[in-house]
Amino acid sequence: MDLETFFRENRKAALAFSGGVDSSYLMYAGNRYGADLGVYYVKSVFQPQFEMDDALRLASELGIKVNVIKADVLKDETVRANPKDRCYYCKKMIFNAIAKAANEDGYTLLLDGTNASDAEDDRPGMKALRELKVRSPLRECGLVKSEIRRLSKEAGLFTWDKPAYACLATRIRTGEEITEEKLGAVEASEDFLFSLGFTDFRVRRTGNTAKIQIKEDQFDRLIAVKDKIRTEFMKYYDAVTLDLEGR
């Protein structure tokens, strides 16, 4: 099966849209093949502002309406406590919010951008998707990440080479309470590294220490501006370290 066939057989569906490579291409494909696609973006403290900006920019370029839903993920005590299976509870909250809004708009089928490269295992997030009967057309059609990037580039989508970006909560070690203050510090420090031209990195938070994980080929550039980074990061942390294993 290909995406054209999928959307011919499923003419009306709601899409959980993140603005990443996969869900962006799926949105484009659904629109291209004439599906009645309700598009939903969930904004929470776990998503940095640039992710929503990218999502809305692409949708605007394609002439597609995006329904933005706000979710207070930290009101859930389990999510806030940050256990190993935090993603399960967070995914259930987010997709239940999408499903509720979609049902009110007349959509009963819910889609996400999981692709055929993503491990089909018992990860907490995948478990939540299965329980909620979310379908993943990219996976069902056998499309892997590299193919989705190629097709996105051919379609002229600016997201084709966008790096993978996990939610901000992943920067805080398991078992450490998640707070808006900690998430804000992570977002601000990562925004600063973006502003200096760095790509594909993470700023991990352990206690009140920031650990920068970046590709080895960017080490020299980082060392050259380490004083700028330290000055900025010390607004949010007590110490700043570099992970010498690289990313």
Q: Are the CB atoms for 190 and 165 separated by under 8 Å?
A: no
- How many other CB atoms sit within 10 Å of the CB of residue 240? 19
**Residue 78 contacts by C-beta under 8 Å, 6 or more apart in sequence?**
86, 89
Instruction: Please name the residues in contact with 85: beta carbons below 8 A apart, sequence gap of 6 or more.
Output: 124
Q: Are 201 and 59 in contact (CB under 8 A)?
A: no
Q: What is the pLDDT of residues 102-158, one digit of tens each?
A: 999 999 999 999 998 876 665 777 888 888 899 999 999 999 999 999 999 999 999
> Between the CA atoms of 137, 50, 173 and 216, what dihedral angle is there, to the nearest 10 degrees?
90
The model's pTM:
0.90
Give the 3-state secondary structure of residue 58: helix
For residues 111 and 37, give the distance between their C-alpha atoms in angstroms, rounded to a whole number. Answer: 10
- In the chain, DSSP finds a helix count (H) and a strand count (E) of 11, 7
Dist. CA 54–CA 220, nearest whole Å: 29
pLDDT tens digits, 173-205? 999 999 999 999 999 999 999 999 998 899 999
CB atoms within 10 A of CB 199: 10
pLDDT averaged over every residue in the chain: 94
> Which residue segments constitute the domains of the chain, with CATH numbers given?
3-161 (3.40.50.620), 179-242 (3.30.70)
